[in-house]
Structure 1
Amino acid sequence: MRGEGVSRKEAARRVGVNVRTAQDWDHGVRSIGPTRVYPGGRKVDYRTGVTTMVTATQPPTVRSLEAGLHPRFLTLVERETIADLHRQGASLRAIGRELGRPASTIKREIDAYAVGGVYRPYRAQRAWAKSRVRHKASKLAHDGPLRDYVTSKLREEWSPEQICHALVTEFPDDESIRVSTETIYQAIYVQACGGLRREVATALRTGRTRRKPHRRPDQRTQRFVDEMVMISDRPAEIEDRAVPGHWEGDLIVGTRSDSAIVTLVERSTRYVLLGHLPGGHTAEEVRDVLVPLIGSLPEHLRGSLTWDQGCEMAAHKQFTVATGVPVYFCDPHSPWQRGSNENTNGLLRQYFPKGTDLSVYGSEDLEHVAQKLNRRPRKTLGWKTPAERLRDLLTAI
């Protein structure tokens, strides 16, 4: 179905699998019990966190190389076409047009594998296949002074980077006793590529038995289709809480994540609004609750909304179009950037404990709880209540 142009979501629905499973199938990932097998041969057992590399014991055949081959690589059929057209005197551009490839690709192929000006497709395929197999044992896979030194320092709780630089200091004249930081990490976390005992991982500062990938903020994949406006671009008047009408939002989720409550807190008055999500919290459902909640406010109290990067706000652009309220997104794993909302969610757990089925509460129940919070005196407001602060704002206009 994917080959026929059916969307991943629709294909998953027809087959009866989760969209995440369909995504794995698209990427060639297979699940065998708790183990996930990746196209490159990496196997991860998610019960134990053990990562291993499966390597071929024999050189790959043409058939195995072309099975699931990325489209950027030339196939044997394409190489045969290149040989035929090149023999007929066709130009590089003409061959490229025939194959739907850039002329530069054809030139590199011929320059790399032609012998005496003659390009032979099967010889080129064998040479390419041979160049693809680069099995190289890690420096730490064999017993010796280097491996002993690295293991002993890891047991002394040295970091791989410290070990890497210490080798240069202690063995300045022996170039054979050198190892990079990355090689040490690979030796610990990927068993078939390394050679160090997995127990050594517990000596690392983190104590992790599985590697955690890190990306710089500018390298992260865009979360939503519509571009996010980050909190760093939020005007200063919102930051200092001097101007009312700017809100922080989030969800509190019920048992099994089947139900939820939208929580909105005004930053200067701490006034609370609650919205009911009894049947789920998809982006569309959250949008349909937020629009009337914000729409019930006077226009001068519809300044902005700050939210985390939860998938429930994927429809943020539609929300902004419907209400005229811009949405600003917090940085990942930074709940303090919505401190008022986090504090309010903690207060709400007095009425809606964790593990509660939130679908049993109606809109009247939520309004009752919201009014209880809005009538509590708050130390941060000089012991005034959020309702009094909001009333003062409305009467001053």
Structure 2
Amino acid sequence: MGVSSSTISRELKRNSIEEGYDPQVAQVFSDDRKRYAVKADKRDPETDTIIRETLALGWSPAAISARMDVECSGANRPSYTTIYRRISEDRLQGGLLHTRLPRYGKKRWQGGKRYRKADLAAIPNRVDISSRPDVVEQRSRLGDWEGDFVHAVNASLVTLVDRISRFTLAQRVIRKSKEAVADALISMLGKVHSALTVTLYNGGEFTDHDRVSKETGAATYFAKPYASWQRGTNENTNGRLRRLRPKKIDLTTLSNGDIQEGFSF
């Protein structure tokens, strides 16, 4: 039958009747056990308090769940999906925990279908992410970076995140020009030991990517338009940065130390 003999023995022992084994009766027994089984519940006042307090600090459910390893015993540590479920339950009961989520109320695109080849022609020698080596997707080595351009007032940031270590680099640029962005990428990649690939989004700021590849040796690839999930590590890092450094902040008033502090999660 393709299963262990102990599995068959356990099935016969649990679900047989006096007349022998009947699969239909066994299914009824199984359904009854599921229906009346005592469900495990990890909810307790301690974890509820931690969730409330850390949400007030701007933490995400994933970060809260990771912190539970320190605050609680392993048996009581709720996963991030459990934390989301508790937040949903609180909302149905009239609570406001959901308003403290870091990305609560984010506006989504409501304009229907978008042009899937947007900005592609504006980037010379663009290499699509579909041509990127499979090893990059496996996150098995250092040196595969994801890059982005973060807008702010009077200045912007060029950010890079290593896909496996999550090590993050950021450099301020005053001008939104391809030359300034390329210089920032070259400067940052020159500070690390391994720069094998860089995956970018299709903004005009990255049109000087050939010079970046030539001077750093890192092959550059571009995600598909409107597919930010293909650079998910970098997008998530930038989202966390926005909690401390919102878009309306004037970057020229911050020191380099202040900028780096924004990435000390």
Given the two structures, how large is their TM-score scaled by the length of structure 1?
A: 0.37
Tell me: CA distance 1:336–1:221, structure 2 relative to 1, closer, same or farther (3 Å).
Answer: closer
Cα distance, 1:335–1:216 mapped onto 2, change above 3 Å: closer
User: RCO greater where, 1 or 2, for CA within 8 Å and sep 6 or more?
Assistant: 2
* 1:251 partner letter: F
Alignment-mate amino acid for residue 235 of structure 2: E
Q: Secondary structure at the match of 1:265?
A: strand
2:238 aligns to what?
A: 345
In 2, Cα distance between the equivalents of 1:353 and 1:221? 29
Matched, 1:269 2:165: yes
Corresponding residue number in structure 1 for 2:147: 249
SS class of match (1:247): strand
Distance 1:221 1:354, change over 3 A: closer
Per-residue deviation at 1:364?
2.2
Match of 1:287 in 2: 182
CA distance in 1, matches of 2:165, 2:252: 29
- Partner residue of 1:315? 208
Give the Cα–Cα distance (whole angstroms) in 2 for the partners of residues 270 and 216 of structure 1. 29
In structure 2, distance between residues paired with 1:352 and 1:304: 28
**Gap change, CA 1:341 and 1:253, over 3 Å in 2:** same
Q: Distance in 2 between matches of 1:352 and 1:216?
A: 30
1:89 matched residue in structure 2: none
Task: Tell me how far apart the structure 2 counterparts of residues 281 and 220 of structure 1 sit (CA, whole Å).
Answer: 16
The 5-angstrom pairing of residues 382-397 of structure 1 reads: none
Note closer, same or farther for the CA distance 1:317–1:231 as it changes in structure 2 (3 Å cut): same
Larger Rg: 1
Q: Which blocks of at least 5 consecutive residues in structure 1 are unaligned?
A: 1-206, 374-397
1:232 aligns with 2:232: no
Deviation (angstroms), 1:273: 0.8
Runs of 4+ in 1 over 4 A off after TM superposition: 212-217
Q: State how 1:1-397 maps to structure 2 within 5 Å.
A: 217=117, 222-224=121-123, 226-255=124-153, 258-277=154-173, 279-298=174-193, 301-370=194-263, 372-373=264-265
C-alpha spacing 1:324/1:354, structure 2 compared with 1 (3 Å): same
State the alpha-carbon separation in 2 of the partners of residues 348 and 216 from structure 1.
Answer: 28
Conserved in 2, the CA contact under 8 Å of 1:248 and 1:340?
yes
Deviation at 1:369, TM superposition (A): 2.9
- For residues 257 and 149 of structure 2, the distance between their equivalents in structure 1, rounded to whole angstroms, comes to 18
Normalising by structure 2, we get a TM-score of 0.54
Judging changes above 3 Å, is the alpha-carbon distance between structure 1 residues 221 and 303 closer, same or farther for their aligned structure 2 residues? closer
Shift of 1:213: 9.1
Summarize deviations over 1:169-215 as a string: whole Å, max 9, x none: xxxxxxxxxxxxxxxxxxxxxxxxxxxxxxxxxxxxxx98xxx9976
Paired residues of 2:144 and 2:197 also in contact (CA < 8 A): yes
Q: Identical aligned pairs, as a percentage?
A: 33
Distance in 2 separating the partners of 1:361 and 1:345: 17
Which consecutive residues of structure 2, in runs of 5 or more, have no partner in the other structure? 1-109
